[in-house]
C-alpha cells in the first residue's frame, strides 16, 4: 500500500489528499442538519398545573428532555404540581430541547413563630408576611396597650415563640382595646402565688405590671405576693380608709417573696 503511494508523483498524492479532505467536509456539512436537528421544531405543550409525573410523560413523548430546576411552595396549588415551565407553553423550539420545570413542594416548609407580643398590629402583620404566615381574626380585651398584641393564637390556642408552623398557617391576635370605662374594687392579691394572682386578675381583664422580688426567688410563678400597688385601700388620715378602684385594662404592680406573708402584714397593707 505504501509502495503504491510512494510510487506516484508528489503532486498526485497532494491532489488526492485534497480531494479526500473536500469529500469529508462535504459529507460533514451534509450531515450537520441531521446532527443538529436543523429545521425540526416542536411546539412546547402546556404542563403548568399538572403533576410532575404526567408532565414528564407528555414532554418526553413529544421528544423533549425534562429537568426539574427549582421548587417553591404555594398552598393554592397541589403538591408536586408544575408551577412554571421554561420555555413557556406554545413556544416553538428545536426537537430535543430541554424543558425546565419548577414544581410545588409536596408539603409546606416550616418556620419559627416569633414573639409578637407588644408589637403594634400593623408591625405584627408585616412580620408574619415576611415569614409566609397569614393573619387571622383579631379580638380585643381591655388593656392599657391599645392596639398592641397581647396574645398570639394558632388554632385557638396560645402559640409560643419558637414553635414550628407550616408556611401559610393562620395566626390570630388578641389586641388591647385601651382602659375600660367601668371601675371595680382592687382585687386582694396578697398571700396568693404569682400564678394565682395572674389567673384571678385575668377574670377582671386586669394585668400584672411590674414584678419585684424582695428576696432570692427561684420559682417566680410559685412565689407569694406580699405587697401590691395599688393596695386594697388608701389611708388618707389615721383610721380613715378609702377603698381603691381600678379599671379593666390597667395594671397592678406586685412584690413577691419566697416566704408567704403573715396575716398581720396582709391586713395592714396600705398604699401611701
Please give the Cα distance from 246 to 186 (Å, whole number). 6
Report the pLDDT averaged over residues 186-206. 93
Q: Any idea which of 15-29, 38-52, 127-141, 172-186 has the lowest mean pLDDT?
A: 15-29
According to DSSP, the residues that pair with 186 across neighbouring strands are none
Specify the pLDDT at position 238.
Answer: 81
Is pLDDT above 90 for 272? no
**pLDDT at res. 12:** 65
Asked if the model's pLDDT at residue 13 lies above 70, the reply is no
| Least confident piece of the model among 43-52, 213-222, 231-240, 260-269 | 260-269
pLDDT 10s digits, 201-224: 988 889 899 999 999 999 999 999
Helix (H), strand (E), coil (C) string for the chain: CHHHHHCCCHHHHHHHHHHHHHHHHHHHHHHHHHHHCCCCEEECCCCCCCEHHHHHHHHHHCCCEEEEEEEECCCCCCCCEEEEEECCCCCEEECCCEEEEEEECCCCCEEECCCCCCCEHHHHHHHHHHHCCEEEEEEEEEEEEECEEEEEEECCEECCCCCEEECCCEEEEEEECECCCCCEECCCCCCCEHHHHHHHHHCCCCEEEEEEECCCCCCHHHCEEEEEECCCEEEEECCEEEECEECCCCEEEEEEECCCCCHHHHHCCCCC
For residue 266, the model assigns a pLDDT of: 47
Residue-wise pLDDT tens digits, 115-159: 999 999 999 999 999 999 999 999 998 888 889 999 999 999 999
- The answer, as to whether pTM is greater than 0.85, is no
Residue 253, CA distances (Å) to 49, 128, 154, 231 in order: 58, 32, 30, 9
Q: Which domains does the chain have, with CATH numbers?
A: 43-104 (3.30.10.20), 110-176 (3.30.10.20), 184-267 (3.30.10.20)
Q: Where does the pLDDT of residue 60 fall: very low under 50, low under 70, confident under 90, or very high at 90 and above?
A: very high
First-to-last C-alpha distance (Å) of the chain: 125
Q: Which of 5-14, 24-33, 94-103, 214-223 is least confident?
A: 5-14
Amino acid at each position: 500500500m505504501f509502495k503504491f503511494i510512494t510510487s506516484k508523483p508528489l503532486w498526485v498524492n497532494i491532489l488526492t489528499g485534497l480531494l479526500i479532505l473536500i469529500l469529508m467536509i462535504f459529507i460533514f456539512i451534509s450531515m450537520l442538519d441531521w446532527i443538529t436537528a436543523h429545521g425540526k421544531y416542536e411546539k412546547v405543550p402546556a404542563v403548568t398545573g399538572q403533576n410532575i409525573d404526567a408532565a414528564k410523560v407528555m414532554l418526553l413523548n413529544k421528544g423533549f428532555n425534562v429537568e426539574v430546576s427549582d421548587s417553591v411552595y404555594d398552598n393554592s396549588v397541589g403538591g408536586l404540581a408544575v408551577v412554571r415551565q421554561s420555555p413557556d407553553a406554545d413556544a416553538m423550539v428545536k426537537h430535543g430541547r430541554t424543558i425546565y420545570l419548577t414544581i410545588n413542594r409536596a408539603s409546606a416548609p416550616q418556620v419559627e413563630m416569633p414573639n409578637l407580643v407588644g408589637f403594634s398590629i400593623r408591625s405584627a402583620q408585616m412580620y408574619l408576611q415576611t415569614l409566609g404566615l397569614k393573619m387571622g381574626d383579631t379580638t380585643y380585651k381591655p388593656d392599657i396597650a391599645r392596639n398592641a398584641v397581647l396574645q398570639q393564637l394558632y388554632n385557638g390556642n396560645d402559640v409560643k415563640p419558637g414553635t414550628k408552623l407550616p408556611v401559610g398557617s393562620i395566626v390570630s391576635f388578641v389586641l388591647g382595646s385601651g382602659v375600660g370605662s367601668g371601675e371595680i374594687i382592687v382585687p386582694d392579691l396578697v398571700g396568693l402565688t404569682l400564678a394565682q394572682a395572674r389567673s384571678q386578675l385575668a377574670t377582671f381583664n386586669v394585668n400584672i405590671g411590674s414584678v419585684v422580688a424582695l428576696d432570692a426567688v427561684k420559682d417566680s410563678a410559685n412565689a407569694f405576693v406580699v405587697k401590691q400597688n395599688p393596695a386594697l385601700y388608701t389611708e388618707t388620715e389615721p383610721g380613715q380608709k378609702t377603698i381603691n378602684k381600678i379599671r379593666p385594662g390597667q395594671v397592678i404592680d406586685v412584690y413577691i417573696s419566697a416566704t408567704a406573708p403573715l396575716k398581720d402584714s396582709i391586713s395592714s397593707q396600705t398604699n401611701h
